[in-house]
Amino acid sequence: MTFRNFLRFIFTFVFAVCCLGLQPAYTAASNARIIRLSLVQGDVRVLRDSKGDPLANDKANWERAELNLPIRQHYVVATDSGRAEVEFENGAMAFIGENSVLEFFDLSLEDGALTTRLVLRQGTASFYVNPARDDYFSVTGGDFTAEAGSRANFRMDNFDDGSTIAVTRGSVSVAHKDANTILAKGQSLTMRAGQNVTATIGRVPESDEFDRWVSGRADSVVTATNAALQYSNSSTYTSGFGDLYTYGGFYPVSGFGYGWRPYGVGFGWSPFDNGNWFLDPFLGWSFIGNQPWGWLPYHYGGWIFEPGIGWLWAPAGFGRGLSPVKFHPVTAAFVRSGNSVGIVPSHPLDNHGKPPLNLERGIVPLTNRGGEQTALAARKKVGGAQRALCIGQPVGRFVRDLDPLANAREQYSVIADDVAAANCREADGRRVTFTSHTFTAIHGAILQLAAECVGNGFTHCKRGA
């Protein structure tokens, strides 16, 4: 392909993308409710897209749960000899005890109100509920459903011989068939298994080791979160702020308020040095930070490089209104040239359709398990016709074995045949692949930038004037 033809291809690609109205990969997930697996202790498993009772499905594909795993509707978290904690957007928390199975049956959003319906299939779990106006929060276990319409703490046990709910703060409404029972602080309700199901109301049992663990976790998270929120303008989203306060420090940044970076890192620290890539059919590739603080910085806000300090995460985009905060699978833009695949940390002032502002800081390369980068060309049937797709495998150093071809349909958008075919051709000795991810960085860029990237590789690109 000659240089002139390449420029024509760039123009054609931009025009085609504009006509098709393609959006960056994160846009599809921006209105979905995504919550966080905030603590993993011992053996914890996760099941995606559960249908029916997960305990009755002997073919269920249980995977090892990762800290900071994004959880969406129809996920199930199960423990063996382990415990887990889940943080919701507004600061609510679920604490899962040993040998327990909790299903996230409904995580929906309507007119700014959060609807949360959980099912405790087995075991023990405690809940710290902090609903805003019009939010709905319920947990079903056994033959009843517990609903919390205001701030409340309660524990549920669900086993073969019966179920119990105990309220330690606020009040909870317990629905069983056509009856509703209000439990106040210090009260419990027990239903024994059997044909003649009867409810017994009594006092909350004495605290055990699990209760003390839950109380300590809740107190520490709430205290740290309140301390961290003074550095942010977030009023409706609080998940993950507590870990920022515990594991890092905030620094004043002109024009952005405050920036954050973890303790113990030097000037040369790169935000994406450590972590995993996780593929979800609805979210695409998501970055999972493997540090306790690795939630907020990789899914919200943006990154600033401050002279004399280094990389700082800026808590931007939260606002003070009631609008839901958008979740991003990764706070970075994917770029690719030839067989090189990399990401550029997103800047808070990045604009859709323009090169990322942090591009001048270089690129974080992504490698597969063999240390080599991969660019794959695949074909699949769309509407009965064969269409070419150039796809890449954006995998990090710690990625698990995943088949990118099997997930091509969910991960990448199909462009017109001629554009997709052109994507797979050679350009000035380098293969240039554009996908819905790289579109974020390339669409609308000055042609001079594209030409420099082709000739020199993305690691030597400079933003055009």
Q: What are 332-359's pLDDT values in tens digits?
A: 998 875 667 788 999 999 988 788 899 8
Instruction: Quick: pLDDT tens for 358-407.
Output: 988 888 887 543 443 332 222 222 222 222 222 233 333 222 222 322 23
User: Which run of H or of E encompasses 242?
Assistant: helix 241-247
Give the number of residues written for the chain: 465
Which whole number is the average pLDDT over 73-81? 95
CA 306 vs. chain centroid, Å, equals 26
What's residue 390's pLDDT? 27
> Does residue 78 register a pLDDT over 90?
yes
DSSP string, 3-37: HHHHHHHHHHHHHHHHHHT---GGGGGTTS--EEE
Supply the pLDDT for residue 336.
72
Residue 79 is encoded by which pair of tokens?
């423990």
pLDDT value for 83: 98
Question: What is the Cα Rg of the chain in Å?
Answer: 24
Question: What is the reported pLDDT for 149?
Answer: 92
Structural domains for the chain: 3-27+331-460 (no CATH), 33-217 (2.60.120.1440), 220-314 (no CATH)
Beta bridge partners of 182: 173
* DSSP-based helix, strand, coil % in the chain, nearest 5: 20, 40, 40
CA-to-CA dists, residue 83 to 39, 63, 217, 289, 345, angstroms: 8, 15, 12, 20, 33
pLDDT interval class at 416 (50, 70, 90): very low
pLDDT band at 235 (very low <50, low <70, confident <90, very high): confident
Average pLDDT for the chain = 74
Q: What is the pLDDT of residue 437?
A: 35
Could you tell me where the beta strands, DSSP code E, fall in 185-288? 187-192, 199-203, 248-253, 257-262, 276-280, 284-288
Task: Flag the least confident range among 115-129, 229-243, 297-311.
Answer: 229-243
- Which 8-state DSSP code applies to residue 327? P
pLDDT digits (tens, 9 = 90+) for 9-63: 333 333 332 333 322 223 333 446 999 999 999 999 999 988 888 888 888 889 9
SS3 138: strand
User: Regarding predicted confidence, which is higher, 448 or 68?
Assistant: 68
